Structures are given as C-alpha cells and as structure tokens.
C-alpha cells in the first residue's frame, strides 16, 4: 500500500494539472514528479512492492484499455495513403533506430526501447516493451527521459518548421500525428498548428499506437533468437505478452460493439490513471546519479531517432500532397 499510495498521490497532482492545462500530459507530468520524489530522498524498501505493482500490473491494464480508443472504422477513414504512411514511419523508425544504435554502440536493449518509444507512442511504448527486451530500470529510465526531452522539443519545433516549409493545416497535422512521440504531445503540437489540426493528427497517432502489438511481437522473436537479452529471456514461452493480446481485443470490442459514451469515459479515466501511476513508479526509479552516467551516445541516438521519424513522415506528407 505505501508504494501505491505514493504513485496515486503523484497521479492525482498530475491529473489536476492536466485538467487545468490540458496540453500538459498527465503521463509526462507523472514521470517528472516521480523522478523528483525518487531523487529528493532515498526510496524506502516498503515502497517497492507497490511501485513494482504499479509499474507492471497497472501499466498492462492501462495499455489494454488504450485499445478502446482505437476503432477500425476510424483507421479506415484515414485512407490507404495515410495508413501506408503510418506503417512506413513506424517500420523506418524502428529499423533505422536499431541500426543507428548499433553504429553508436548503444546497448541493444536501450536501443530497442528508444526505437519503440520514438516510433510508436512514447512512454507507454517504452514501458510496454521493457519486459520483452529484458531491460533493467536504468535503461528504461534513460529511454523515458529521452522520450520526454525530444517529444517536448517537438511541440514548438514541428509547427514552426511546418510554417517555414509552407505546409497547409492538414499536411502539418498529418506530419505531427505521424512523427511526434506521445499522444498528448501530438495534441499540443496540433493545437499550435490550428484548431482543425487535432481532428487530423490524433487518428493518425492512434494508428501508430496500434503498431505496438506488431513491434512487441517482433521484439519478442528477435531477442529470443539473439544473445542480447540473455538465455533466461529466450526461454520464455510467449512471444506476445498477454496484455498486448488484451490491447488488440479491446480494439476489436470498441470496433464491433457500440459502447455508451459513459462507459468509454470511465474506461479512459481508468486508463489514464493506471498509466500515470505506472509512469510515476517508473519515474521514482529514475535516479539522477545513474542518468548522469548515461553518456552522450543515447542522447545522440534520441536525436537520430527523432530525425528519422520526422523526415520519413515529412517525405510521406509531401508525396501525399
């Protein structure tokens, strides 16, 4: 209970701030607040069971419920060109980042987390891939820090670049949805572009979120066949974690069943709270003394990953017209 109480308190603060200023992501606020709490005082051992429960069980619950936000009809309404763009962006982002990480000699597990988080849906994707690649707390904390840093920088930079290039509102919103890391960061960037941009950017971003299942399954197979994650990980029987299957099941349920708005609202609230508590727990584990030893290579990898996703997305936007 003590660890859960701490993450719940951090989540409550993050949700209040998010309610006051919707452009500030509750998940990112929870990570930052958790990191502050975890570094201003030693973490008591009695917190650890609750922190572990939040970082794992509540994380999985949040990702499963995230599937209710994605419907097949909404994806179909994007048109085949934008759906192909999403697949190309995610594929290029993951493979390009993995190749860059190898060239920069960044550890394979950290590279895999950065590739997943930057190409798909930020912090939730990092945390969702954590167990599959066998990452430790320091690697997860580093990947989360990079997502927060580069995703936040994208909020002012992308709209300014879109204006400089001369993109119209629809094209700029497509670029934002196809390249910015977090869903909340996409909303913030799209709001800067124009009032109509959010309706274009968010469905494209959610299409990227759907790719999480395929990427995690690919990671499960790849890390099982290599020595990067150690023999104990390769021996695991399941290639696709149960929560990813639950996520896909919720996509199907939300697509074929007309759920009442009240039910969807409650599910979204639970999803946000569960993910925020998980992010708070992960933030508490981000120790500044460990991050100071990260070095420059992961930061350069984050920059390269951002550029790969952004430039591939922009190229697709210009081709679509």
Q: What local confidence, expressed as pLDDT, does residue 211 receive?
A: 84
In tens, the pLDDT along 40-51 reads 877 788 888 888
**Residue 235 scores a pLDDT above 50:** no
- List the structure tokens of 80: 């085949």
Q: What local confidence, expressed as pLDDT, does residue 293 receive?
A: 67
In tens, the pLDDT along 171-204 reads 999 999 899 887 777 877 887 787 678 778 888 8
Nearest-angstrom CA–CA distance, 190 and 198: 5
- Of the candidates 53, 66, 7, which has an alpha carbon nearest to the alpha carbon of residue 243? 66
How long a stretch of residues is the chain? Answer: 321
**Residue 321 scores a pLDDT above 70:** no
Average pLDDT, the chain: 82
Q: What local confidence, expressed as pLDDT, does residue 229 receive?
A: 46
Which uninterrupted H or E stretch holds 177?
Answer: helix 169-179
Which uninterrupted H or E stretch holds 186?
Answer: helix 183-193
Neighbours of 50 (CB within 10 A): 19
Long-range Cβ pairs for the range 293-299 (8 Å, 24+): 294/142, 297/104, 297/105, 297/106, 298/106, 298/110, 298/114, 298/142, 298/146, 299/146
In tens, the pLDDT along 103-139 reads 999 988 899 999 998 988 777 788 778 878 877 777 8
Q: What local confidence, expressed as pLDDT, does residue 301 receive?
A: 93
Q: What local confidence, expressed as pLDDT, does residue 275 receive?
A: 81
In tens, the pLDDT along 90-100 reads 999 999 999 99
**Residue 248 scores a pLDDT above 90:** no
Nearest-angstrom CA–CA distance, 149 and 170: 26
Mean pLDDT value of segment 261-269: 86
**Residue 52 scores a pLDDT above 90:** no
Q: What local confidence, expressed as pLDDT, does residue 185 receive?
A: 78
CA-based R_g, the chain, Å:
19
Angle between helices 137-165 and 26-40 in degrees, nearest 10: 140
∠ CA 173-27-269 to the nearest 5 degrees?
90
């Amino acid at each position: 209970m003590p660890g859960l109480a701490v993450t719940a308190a951090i989540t409550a603060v993050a949700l209040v701030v998010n309610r006051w200023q919707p452009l500030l992501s509750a998940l990112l606020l929870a990570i930052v607040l958790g990191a502050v709490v975890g570094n201003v005082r030693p973490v008591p051992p009695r917190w650890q069971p609750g922190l572990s429960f939040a970082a794992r069980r509540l994380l999985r619950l949040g990702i499963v419920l995230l599937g209710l936000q994605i419907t097949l009809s909404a994806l179909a309404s994007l048109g085949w060109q934008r759906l192909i763009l999403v697949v190309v962006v995610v594929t290029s982002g993951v493979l390009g980042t993995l190749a860059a990480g190898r060239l920069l000699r960044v550890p394979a597990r950290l590279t895999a987390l950065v590739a997943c988080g930057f190409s798909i849906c930020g912090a939730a994707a990092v945390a969702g891939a954590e167990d599959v690649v066998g990452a430790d707390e320091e690697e997860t904390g580093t990947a989360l820090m990079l997502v927060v840093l580069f995703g936040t920088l994208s909020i002012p930079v992308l709209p300014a670049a879109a204006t400089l290039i001369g993109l119209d509102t629809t094209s700029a919103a497509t670029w934002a949805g196809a390249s910015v890391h977090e869903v909340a960061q996409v909303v913030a960037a799209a709001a800067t572009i124009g009032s109509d941009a959010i309706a274009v950017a968010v469905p494209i971003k959610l299409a990227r979120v759907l790719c999480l299942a395929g990427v995690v399954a690919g990671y499960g197979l790849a890390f099982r066949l290599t020595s990067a994650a150690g023999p104990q990980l390769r021996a695991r029987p399941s290639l696709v974690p149960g929560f990813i299957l639950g996520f896909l099941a919720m996509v199907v349920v939300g697509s074929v069943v007309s759920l009442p708005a009240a039910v969807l609202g409650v599910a979204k609230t639970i999803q946000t709270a569960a993910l925020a508590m998980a992010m708070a727990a992960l933030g508490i584990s981000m120790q500044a003394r460990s991050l100071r030893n990260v070095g420059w290579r992961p930061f350069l990898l984050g920059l390269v990953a951002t550029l790969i996703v952004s430039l591939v997305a922009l190229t697709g936007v210009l081709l679509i017209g």
